[in-house]
Amino acid sequence: MGPVAPSAARRLSECLLLAVIAAFAVWLADDAVRRSPTLENLVMIVPAAILVVALAVGLAVAALRARDGGADRVPASFMLKACVLLLLLVGLVAGFETIGFDTASFLFLLAAPVLLGERRVLPLLAFATLGSAGVVAALRVMLPYDMPTLLL
Amino acid sequence: MIDFGALGSALQLLGSNAMAWMVVPPGLLIGLVFGCIPGLSVPIAMAIFLPITLYMDFLSAILFLTAIFTGGGFGGSIPAILMNVPGTASAVATTFDGHPMAKQGRQSYALGLALGASCIGTAIGYVLLLLLVSWIADAVLMLGPLEMFAIAVWGLTLIAVLNEGSVAKGVLAGLLGVMMGIIGMSARGDMRGTMGMMALVDGVPKVPALIGLFAASEMFRLMRSEYIVADETKRRPEFGQLLAGARGALLYPVTLIRGSLIGVGIGAVPGVGSAVANLLSYAEEKRRSRTPELFGRGEPRGVVASEAANSSSEGGSMATLLALGIPGGSATAVMLGAFAMHNVTGGPRFISENLDLVYAIILGNLVQVALLAVMGIGFLFIAAGLVRVPVRFLVPGVLLMALLGCFSITGDMMGPITMVACAALGVWLREHDFPVAAVVIGLLLGPAAEAELLRTIQLSGGDPAFILTRPIAMGILLLLLISMLYPLLRRRARIRAAAAAE
């Protein structure tokens, strides 16, 4: 099988998005029906789910039938960068409670600008140190919640 | 309408209370800072500083909290304009035209415009409150679940107006938001879609979801450029343009008045709030415009309509709080806490027995508006410099602050997790031209629409003729129908006129 044409990849991505939305609607309606098949529980969910599925199917058919899916508006390199940034965010959230808010924030503020093109070491270190220390210190003063930290 | 004796006493109260004036500038500054950082909302600021009000007299305490409310109401528009990231839920519509103006290098003018509209909107809100406080209280009492449902449906129909592209995609995005919004405990106490997680019992956290859908996904889009404003010569904050923008708001008196009336009306309805007022006012402005195609591309009227409405809604929500003792939203709920701390109970009796105090609060807020205009210009001059920060530093900084802001809202990891999940969803939706604003509207209004529909069914026993006994609801639904049909009829008239001219 040859490489997927850009327009086909875009169509595939749109159909996948529509499938995810429809699956979510069906799952939520099914979950609500299982909990309690009463009017109070279903008055909004079931009609909304039916509409979601109908619209998703219609839009998917339209996307597949479209003669030209359009070239990818976003270069593949950007999509890769966006995915890596999203992973960095996931890592940051995971790091909050494992390595502490301060260290996780520092590492994120160090890695994300590098990903976005910053190569100067001194500005990077200054940004990550001041940014993480400033934000964590300010929130610690303002918030009544416990924020686990490693160093600060 | 106005009791001039009480008004005189109110002026005396304000004149003899130095503390009431000393607490206003710090309150405004706190509001501006909390409002302009996505995730750190105005109610959070008010809750944090609520204990301090214990050491103040009642008037000073309320003026301090309303100063945070006023400052924060405007503060949310700063990141909305500069980064396309609404600082608060009530600044969503401000992004639609404010950010395109910033991208054109008109950020200073747009910020000034938002400040002008906010100050005038807040002032109109409080003047109306001064004139109509008792009447507003009576009117709110006449609204039942059917009327509230009609208002929520009106909000949901904005989806169709706000979407420039495919209507089907707009509706699907709105329904997705509604379904996300009704995750959690139902009116019967059934858990729906919680997957057994206690953190989801109260539903998907709204503000983290909003920040993820809007802010984070916008940051991903911003990554493609070096700076927010491409033209280097237009990145300098311009004091003259800020002032010109603030004055420029006066060029749109009809927009200002209409937006303010919508804001006061919606703000007075408990549970609806400034977020809906902001969107509704924008949509109405676009509907009525002779050039709707300019909206979304940097149309100043879009900014004026949005900001006038969200700012004037403060006056409406204060009317409900003072006259009925009912908080219209989270911010006024915190204010109710201050009432309780000072052993004061809002309601009709409070107004009749303490009219001078009520007038003093209203007059104090009118002075706050003038202070906001002065402090806001200085604050904006500093904030407008944000466009000079390279995107490679701006994006990680904003994402971190937003994530920590989400943590501050929920107090656990549910906020940050929701934000990241919604960021991924937002990026995917934007990539395929689904309007994320529609998801946000559905998310905000879905639960309210469901609850009010349910109450209506219970009250009416399922009889559709019940609507005939509710003239206000019929009026709202009729207005809704007219406002939806009006653009279609106008478009048809234009086509006919063009055909006749040929």
pLDDT truncated to tens, each residue of chain B (502 aa)? Answer: 677 888 888 889 888 888 888 999 999 999 998 888 766 678 777 877 887 887 889 999 999 999 998 998 888 888 889 888 887 778 888 999 999 999 888 989 999 999 999 999 999 988 988 887 767 666 767 778 888 888 778 777 766 655 666 778 888 998 999 999 999 988 778 889 998 888 888 889 887 888 888 777 778 878 888 887 777 777 777 888 889 999 999 999 999 999 999 998 888 776 666 777 888 899 889 888 888 888 989 999 999 999 999 899 888 888 878 876 767 667 787 787 788 778 887 766 777 778 888 889 999 999 999 999 999 888 888 887 777 889 899 899 988 988 888 888 788 899 999 999 999 999 999 888 898 878 887 887 888 888 888 889 888 888 888 888 888 888 888 877 776 676 566 667 667 766 766 6
User: What residue in B sits closest to A48 (Cα-Cα)?
Assistant: B175
| CA–CA separation, B356 and B9 (whole Å) | 6
Q: Is B326 left (phi over 0), alpha (psi -120 to 50) or beta?
A: beta
DSSP string, A115-140: HTT---HHHHHHHHHHHHHHHHHHHH
Gyration radius (Cα) of chain B, Å: 22
Residues of A whose CB is below 8 A from B178: 44, 48
Residue whose tokens read 């031209």: B433
| CA–CA separation, B50 and B33 (whole Å) | 17
Residue B452 has, within 13 A of its CA and on its CB side, a CA count of 21
Q: B382: buried, middle or exposed (CB in 10 Å: 19+, 13-18, 0-12)?
A: exposed
pLDDT digits (tens, 9 = 90+) for A7-40: 788 888 999 999 999 999 999 999 999 998 888 8
Residue whose tokens read 């207005």: B479
Identify the band that residue A89 occupies on the pLDDT scale cut at 50, 70 and 90: very high
Q: Does residue A46 carry a pLDDT above 90? A: yes
Q: State the best of B33, B34, B192, B414 to mutate against chain A, taking most chain A CBs within 10 Å.
A: B192
| CA–CA separation, B256 and B259 (whole Å) | 5
Residues of B whose CB is below 8 A from A132: 400
| B190 to A44: CB separation less than 8 angstroms, yes or no | no
Residues of B whose CB is below 8 A from A38: 188
B243 reaches A (C-beta below 8 A)? no
**Sign, Cα dihedral of B351, B353, B359, B364:** negative
Q: Does residue A147 carry a pLDDT above 50? A: yes
Residue A131 has, within 13 A of its CA and on its CB side, a CA count of 27
Residues of B whose CB is below 8 A from A109: 396-397, 400
CA dihedral in degrees (A115, A120, A125, A130; nearest 10)?
-90
Mean pLDDT of chain A: 87
Angle between helix B391-410 and helix B414-431 axes, rounded to 10 deg: 130
- Whether residue A87 contacts residue B362, with contact meaning beta carbons closer than 8 Å, is answered with no
Q: What is the distance in angstroms between the Cα of A62 and the nearest Cα belonging to chain B? A: 11
Q: What is the distance in angstroms between the Cα of B347 and the nearest Cα belonging to chain A? A: 32
pLDDT digits (tens, 9 = 90+) for B213-246: 877 777 887 888 888 777 777 777 788 888 999 9
* ipTM given for this complex: 0.90
pLDDT digits (tens, 9 = 90+) for B353-389: 788 888 899 999 999 999 999 998 888 888 877 778 8
| B397 to A131: CB separation less than 8 angstroms, yes or no | yes
pLDDT digits (tens, 9 = 90+) for B195-212: 888 888 888 988 788 888
Q: Is A117 left (phi over 0), alpha (psi -120 to 50) or beta?
A: left
Instruction: Give me the pLDDT at residue A4, please.
Output: 46
The 8-class DSSP code of residue B82 comes to H
- Residue of B179 and A144 predicted with greater confidence: B179
Cβ contacts below 8 Å, chain A against chain B, sum to 160
Contact map slice: A 102-141 vs B, CB within 8 A: 105, 108-109, 112-113, 116-118, 127, 131-132, 135-136, 139
Residues of A whose CB is below 8 A from B399: 89, 108, 112
| A41 to B186: CB separation less than 8 angstroms, yes or no | yes
Among the partner-chain residues B166, B175, B391, the one whose CB lies closest to the CB of A116 is B391
